[in-house]
């Protein structure tokens, strides 16, 4: 057995934890770039707290999912304003953008020097600027991961956008603040999509080919909390359920950063880059399909694989039934997606003619390396077909 575990330097969790941000920021400098989503409403309290401790914040809005161009503009703004630290407050888009800005702020060259797949993939030379990550949704776990997912056009081409990572162990945030109160009142569709992303990021590491005892504990705890609370958060905005989901998202982020993901994220990345499709909704649509594909493939080609027992345990955690079979977990997920009105892949303009290009990109994705076993091209194409 060999594994490593790494996460943010410091994690603060709980209602009211936002109050820790301003003093921590002040210990890092007097000028901060505050990266937020389309609206800065949830940042108003933090802006007041920063002003009180003498930290000047320059706001940068991320509209939609972050692109290379977004990060370049934000980095330039941070340099122009003399920012010494970066704070990301929002969903995964704002957190990933902020994480990338913190990395580029202290490193020379252009962003493509460091991007995976579409860039040169060079290692960062200098440690990123201090970065504080504060999620306002319960989904990506970006506050405890070492990469920033960005939409980019491959070097030397005029099109064919892809979602790729700027990745380094040094990019783990200096401070992660998870305050469930920041998720109160999220719209149901955001709760559903982000929550399904969080659940996927607990399930895939739990059945991946890189499982380890540390992440197993996170996954088991997070899966059970999400199973009992995701629908309640969606239907009633229950504060206890919001706390469960905030913790589940955090645990999923720590799990995926240390035990790999799988085919769901291997597909969601290319699909999100090629089409205007929300990441969480893609994960939700693909998760039960890929679970069923993996289960059948394991039974046919690797009947002694330990992962098979994990699929059964997973079903028992999801359904709350100690005698549940692996198939019961898949049924449970399909029923949840139906309750959430998760759209099919066809809604996003994906056609059968796109399958071969999507499959080719998915096979190259870093996440595919963590799938419980290697899937055939036919199996991968059938996943897309079943998503319609």
pLDDT classification of 56: cutoffs 50, 70, 90: very high
Beta bridge partners of 89: 134
**C-alpha 223 chain-centroid distance:** 15
pLDDT tens-digit profile of 207-245? 999 999 999 999 999 999 999 999 999 999 999 999 999
pLDDT tens-digit profile of 77-102? 999 999 999 999 999 999 999 999 99
**What pLDDT score was predicted for residue 276?**
85
Please name each of the domains of the chain with its CATH number.
10-182 (3.40.50.1970), 186-386 (1.20.1090.10)
d(CA 109, CA 160) in angstroms, rounded, equals 24
Mark out the alpha helices in the chain (DSSP H runs): 21-26, 44-52, 68-80, 92-105, 188-207, 213-236, 239-259, 263-274, 279-301, 307-319, 326-339, 355-364, 377-386
**What pLDDT score was predicted for residue 172?**
97
What's phi and psi for 117, nearest 5 deg? Answer: 65, -60
Mean pLDDT of 116-135: 93
pLDDT tens-digit profile of 264-273? 999 998 899 8
pLDDT classification of 160: cutoffs 50, 70, 90: low
d(CA 183, CA 188) in angstroms, rounded, equals 11
Tokens 């020379």 sit on residue = 108
- The tokens describing 7, both together, are 């996460």
Q: Rounded mean pLDDT of the chain?
A: 95
Q: Using a pLDDT cut of 70, give the percent of the chain over it.
A: 98
pLDDT tens-digit profile of 174-200? 999 999 999 999 999 999 999 999 999
pLDDT classification of 157: cutoffs 50, 70, 90: low
Tokens 């992303």 sit on residue = 197
Angle subtended by helix axes 355-364 and 377-386, to nearest 10: 120
Q: Is the pLDDT of residue 294 over 60?
A: yes
Q: Is the pLDDT of residue 338 over 70?
A: yes
pLDDT classification of 161: cutoffs 50, 70, 90: confident
Q: Is the pLDDT of residue 118 over 90?
A: no
Contact 263, 387 (CB under 8 A): no
d(CA 235, CA 219) in angstroms, rounded, equals 24
Mean pLDDT of 128-157: 90
Q: Is the pLDDT of residue 156 over 70?
A: no
**What pLDDT score was predicted for residue 163?**
84
Beta strands 175-178 and 56-61, pairing class: unpaired
Of 194, 198, 201, 179, which is closest to residue 234 (Cα–Cα)? 194
């Amino acid at each position: 057995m060999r594994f490593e575990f790494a996460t943010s330097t410091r994690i603060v969790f709980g209602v009211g934890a936002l109050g820790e941000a301003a003093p921590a920021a002040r210990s890092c400098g007097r000028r901060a770039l505050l990266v937020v989503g389309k609206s800065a409403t949830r940042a108003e309290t933090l802006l007041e707290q920063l002003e009180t401790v003498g930290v000047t914040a320059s706001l940068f809005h991320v509209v939609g999912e972050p692109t290379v161009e977004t990060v370049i503009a934000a980095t330039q703004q941070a340099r122009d304003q003399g920012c010494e630290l970066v704070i990301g407050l929002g969903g995964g888009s704002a957190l990933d953008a902020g994480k990338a800005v913190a990395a580029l702020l202290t490193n020379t060259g252009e962003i493509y020097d460091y991007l995976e797949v579409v860039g040169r993939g060079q290692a960062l030379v200098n440690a990123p600027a201090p970065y504080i990550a504060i999620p306002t949704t319960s989904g990506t776990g970006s506050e405890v991961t070492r990469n920033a997912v960005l939409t980019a056009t491959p070097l030397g081409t005029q099109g064919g956008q892809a979602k790729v990572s700027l990745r380094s162990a040094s990019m783990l945030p200096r401070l992660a603040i998870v305050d469930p109160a920041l998720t109160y009142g999220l719209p149901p569709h955001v709760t559903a999509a982000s929550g399904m992303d969080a659940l996927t990021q607990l399930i895939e590491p739990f059945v991946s080919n890189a499982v380890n005892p540390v992440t197993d504990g996170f996954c088991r705890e997070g899966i059970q909390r999400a199973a009992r609370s995701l629908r309640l958060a969606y239907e009633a905005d229950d504060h206890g359920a919001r706390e469960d989901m905030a913790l589940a998202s955090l645990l999923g982020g720590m799990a995926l950063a240390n035990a790999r993901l799988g085919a769901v994220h291997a597909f969601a990345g290319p699909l999100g880059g090629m089409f205007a499709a929300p990441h969480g909704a893609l994960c939700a649509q693909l998760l039960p399909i890929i679970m069923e594909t993996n289960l059948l493939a394991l039974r046919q080609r690797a009947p002694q694989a330990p992962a098979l027992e994990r699929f059964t345990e997973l079903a028992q955690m999801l359904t709350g039934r100690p005698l549940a079979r692996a198939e019961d977990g898949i049924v449970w997920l399909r029923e949840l997606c139906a309750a959430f009105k998760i759209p099919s892949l066809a809604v996003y303009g994906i056609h059968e003619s796109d399958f071969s290009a999507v499959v080719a990109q998915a096979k190259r994705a870093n996440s595919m390396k963590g799938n419980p076993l290697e899937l055939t091209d036919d199996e991968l194409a059938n996943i897309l077909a079943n998503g319609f």
